[in-house]
């Protein structure tokens, strides 16, 4: 059996794909919750058919991956291929045998996916506020004109306004703070806010956008299950309408997300639908669906205007977490978009290309 320790230097993770895309803080957190393991020559790291509870990266030594049909390949620690997971998916398609003494890392895929989604879904389009209308009293009418509400069933809209709570803020108040858990979705009824994010280069924070009456925020952390990726600060006194996470997911998120199985997605694609992979380029290059285009989630907002409104889009990632965030964004902007249920982890390896 493999021996396992719990202490990992984050530097061991910093060159691995897609882990290297994480911020230093998340890299440290992932290192704290990952395992450094060793296996003697001849030992199995995992077997075909086993549940894939962890992602494995080879640091030292050599591992042979073999399918049930006998097809095999070898991965050596320190090679280019060792920067990628030995295998991805819910169930192992290969049996992995140590061909020498091996040192490897085990990472929780769910935690990694949450961190990637949190960090990659933080883009905001900088908006100029129309000051002539920012004090418009008919805030409900302005909100209902938003594309996102045009796709929600009328019965849900009525429930949304019934369940919303008015919250009063003063100039300078933080509505949400970067790093907090996501608990509410907000609509601006009165006042103005700014979106600020702290980065390693700008620890004091960078202003990403200005928001006014009728704008909304807070949905990304609720959809992804991650933490807030930016802070919202009041520029003026104001009133925000707050919707709880459970009500948002039930009344706003689910009606906008069209989940489809792989067979259903193929039918849409055959009808001239477009596969969109929202993972990072290195993940896409490692393994993707044939014919798909790669638009990483962090870049999706900036590329929305280049997409054709008369097309259908099937969005996927590894698990469905990042793609559900991307699909909400596209639907919010008036596109017909679908989420591949469980992502490509549910697709047979022989249907993927690299």
* H-helix or E-strand spanning residue 298: helix 297-303
Reference 224, options 164, 286, 297; nearest CA is: 297
Structure tokens at 324: 């559900």
Q: Count other C-beta atoms under 10 Å from residue 287's C-beta.
A: 20
Structure tokens at 222: 């609720």
Q: What is the DSSP letter of 338?
A: E
Under 8 Å between Cβ of 122 and 176: no
Instruction: Estimate to the nearest angstrom the gap between the alpha carbon of 3 and the chain centroid.
Output: 32
Strands (E), 205-323: 206-211, 216-217, 231-234, 238-244, 258-260, 274-277, 288-289, 293-294, 312-316
Distances (CA, A) of 301 to 123, 200, 348: 7, 22, 30
Reference 302, options 148, 124, 146; nearest CA is: 124
Task: Assess whether 317 carries a catalytic annotation.
Answer: yes
Q: Which of 45, 256, 317, 329 is labelled catalytic?
A: 317
* H-helix or E-strand spanning residue 195: strand 193-197
Under 8 Å between Cβ of 232 and 207: no
Rounded to the nearest 10 degrees, the angle between the axes of helix 109-120 and helix 321-332 is 30
DSSP string, 10-72: GGGTTTSTTGGGS-HHHHHHHHHTSEEEEE-TT-EEE-TTSB--SEEEEEESEEEEE-TTS-E
Q: What CA–CA distance (Å, rounded) separates 245 from 60?
A: 44
Give catalytic residue positions. Answer: 317
């Amino acid at each position: 059996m493999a021996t396992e320790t719990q202490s990992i230097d984050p530097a061991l993770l910093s060159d691995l794909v897609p882990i290297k895309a994480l911020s230093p803080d998340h890299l440290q957190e992932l290192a704290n919750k990952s395992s450094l393991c060793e296996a003697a020559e001849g030992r199995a790291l995992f077997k075909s058919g086993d549940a894939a509870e962890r992602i494995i990266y080879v640091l030292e030594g050599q591992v042979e991956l073999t399918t049930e049909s006998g097809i095999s390949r070898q991965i050596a620690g320190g090679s280019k291929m060792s920067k990628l997971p030995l295998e991805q998916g819910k169930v192992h398609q290969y049996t992995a045998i140590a061909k020498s003494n091996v040192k490897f890392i085990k990472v929780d895929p769910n935690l990694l996916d949450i961190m990637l989604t949190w960090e990659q879904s933080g883009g905001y389009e900088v908006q100029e506020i129309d000051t002539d209308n920012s004090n418009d009293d008919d805030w409900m009418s302005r909100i209902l004109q938003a594309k996102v509400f045009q796709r929600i069933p009328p019965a849900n809209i009525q429930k949304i306004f019934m369940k919303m709570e008015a919250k009063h803020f003063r100039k300078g108040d933080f509505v949400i703070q970067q790093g907090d858990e996501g608990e509410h979705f907000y609509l601006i009824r009165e006042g103005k806010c700014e979106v600020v994010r702290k980065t390693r280069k700008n620890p004091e924070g960078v202003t990403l956008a200005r928001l006014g009456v009728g704008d909304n925020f807070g949905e990304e952390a609720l959809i992804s299950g991650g933490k807030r990726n930016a802070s919202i600060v009041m520029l003026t006194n104001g009133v925000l309408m707050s919707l709880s996470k459970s009500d948002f997911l039930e009344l706003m998120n689910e009606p906008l997300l069209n989940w489809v199985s792989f067979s259903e997605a193929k039918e849409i694609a055959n009808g001239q639908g477009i596969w969109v992979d929202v993972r990072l380029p290195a993940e896409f290059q490692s393994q993707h669906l044939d014919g798909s285009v790669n638009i990483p989630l962090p870049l999706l907002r900036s590329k929305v205007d280049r997409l054709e409104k008369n097309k259908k889009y099937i969005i996927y990632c590894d698990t469905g977490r990042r793609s559900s965030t991307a699909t909400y964004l596209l639907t919010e902007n008036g596109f017909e978009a679908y989420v591949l249920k469980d992502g490509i982890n549910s697709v047979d390896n022989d249907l993927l290309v690299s």
